[in-house]
Amino acid sequence: MRSTRRVAFLLVLPGVLWAAAACGPSTAAVRAQKLAEGQEKLVDDPSAALQVARSALLEVGPDPELELLAANACLKLGRRSEALTHAEKGLADEDSLPDELAGDLAWVQGFALVGRYRDLHAEDDWRAANTILERAADHGSHRAEAAFLLVALQDLGNHRDDPRQLKYARLLQQLEPESPNLEAVRATLEKKGLTL
């Protein structure tokens, strides 16, 4: 009886291994294809990009890059709370993410929190945005935008912090010396008697 089970197991094993090998690359290929398709649609049709991202997430499972695609699509559609949810899911295992990807997810999360703070004036949102945007200012493709938002955050509510504001104004100056945002920051700082 034992030997029969062993033979049956050995006969089935190659099929199981083949199926596992076949699923791996196929899932990776589907993921890559959906990601490329969604990023292409994001430019002109964020609604379609969101559908692609969500369908891919259902098909391949949790994936921070697909969450970022969905989050960016939600931002373009003005759906901040959904963008925030996707960014938070993408950052669920933040320590294992490449710095650039974590920075881009942090940007979406911070941007959405700033918007919610402006709407609802919840101090927790301000504090979270003030911390999360630091990560986006350090890494990712939205460093300058994150630095600009951090400068602006120091003037929202009763949160004046001149040294912090100057720190991120100087980072913005370093990243985008010709930015129109930098001119606005300079004008704001000058009104407060601060200079870069």
Q: DSSP of 13-81, one letter per residue?
A: HHHHHHHHHHHHHHHHHHHHHHHHHHHHHHHH-HHHHHHHHHHHHHHH---HHHHHHHHHHHHHTT-HH
Residue 157: pLDDT band by 50, 70, 90 thresholds?
confident
- Which CATH number belongs to the domain containing residue 114 in this structure? 1.25.40
> According to the model, what pLDDT value does residue 11 have?
36
Domain annotation covers residue 85: no
Within this chain, do residues 168 and 137 fall inside the same structural domain, yes or no? yes
What is the pLDDT averaged over residues 126-150?
98
Within this chain, do residues 182 and 104 fall inside the same structural domain, yes or no? yes
191 Cβ contact list (under 8 Å, min separation 6): none
Res 1 pLDDT > 80? no
SS3 string, 163-181, reads HHHHHHHHHHHHHCCCCHH
Res 14 pLDDT > 60? no
pLDDT tens digits, 97-112: 999 999 999 999 999 9
pLDDT tens digits, 71-91: 999 999 999 999 999 999 999
Domain annotation covers residue 34: yes
Domain annotation covers residue 14: yes
What is the number of structural domains in the chain?
Answer: 2
What is the pLDDT averaged over residues 161-186?
96
The residue range of the domain holding 72 is 1-79
Within this chain, do residues 103 and 193 fall inside the same structural domain, yes or no? yes
Residue 49: pLDDT band by 50, 70, 90 thresholds?
very high
The angle, 0 to 180 degrees and rounded to 10, between the axes of the packed helices 99-120 and 143-153 is 30
> According to the model, what pLDDT value does residue 13 have?
39
Within this chain, do residues 103 and 196 fall inside the same structural domain, yes or no? yes
User: Quick one: DSSP state of residue 192?
Assistant: T
Q: How far is CA 122 from the centre of its chain?
A: 22
pTM confidence score:
0.84
Question: Could you count the other beta carbons within 10 Å of the beta carbon of residue 93?
Answer: 11
Within this chain, do residues 57 and 144 fall inside the same structural domain, yes or no? no
Within this chain, do residues 116 and 182 fall inside the same structural domain, yes or no? yes
Residue 21: pLDDT band by 50, 70, 90 thresholds?
very low
Within this chain, do residues 34 and 72 fall inside the same structural domain, yes or no? yes
> According to the model, what pLDDT value does residue 27 have?
87
> According to the model, what pLDDT value does residue 9 have?
34
Domain annotation covers residue 157: yes
What mean pLDDT is reported for the chain?
A: 89
Contact (Cβ atoms closer than 8 angstroms) between residue 105 and residue 91: yes
Contact (Cβ atoms closer than 8 angstroms) between residue 64 and residue 97: yes
Helix, strand, coil percent values for the chain (each to nearest 5): 80, 0, 20
Within this chain, do residues 11 and 56 fall inside the same structural domain, yes or no? yes
Domain boundary (79, 110, 144) is at 79
Domain annotation covers residue 86: no
Within this chain, do residues 129 and 36 fall inside the same structural domain, yes or no? no
- Could you tell me which of 41, 113, 101 has the C-alpha nearest to residue 76? 41
Domain annotation covers residue 84: no
> According to the model, what pLDDT value does residue 48 have?
98
